[in-house]
Amino acid sequence: MTNRIELFREALKSDPENELAHFSLANELLEQELFSEALDHYEKCLLIRPSWMRVFIQVGRCCYELGDLERAVDVLNQAKAAILQSNDHENLDEVNDLLSRCEEEGD
């Protein structure tokens, strides 16, 4: 494990409701391809801050990597709908790419 992972784990011991620590830890775990554990921490982020768009996308990514394509598509479609309703389409290409990869895997 990296020092950053341990740093965020320690931060969560002090403040288990710290969504930024959960998010940062999840990102580090994702980078290490520890998808299931990353997903757990992204989901904790959503319990604390349910409308965090970036986290929805990362949940979709983890589900894709774990082979849960049905859930990945569901979460990514929710993210896409929210993106299209907003004026911030910055993440739309990423979501569409992940959805395409899910479709290819599902065929």
Cβ–Cβ < 8 Å for 101, 64: yes
The encoded tokens of residue 84 equal 């299209």
Convert the pLDDT of each residue in 21-59 to its tens digit.
999 999 999 999 999 999 999 999 999 999 899 999 999
Does the global pTM surpass 0.85? yes
Cα distance between residue 62 and residue 66, in whole Å: 6
Cα distance between residue 25 and residue 97, in whole Å: 24
**Which letter does DSSP use for residue 2 in this model?**
-
Domain 3-106 has CATH 1.25.40.10: yes
Helices 69-85 and 53-65 meet at what angle, rounded to 10?
160
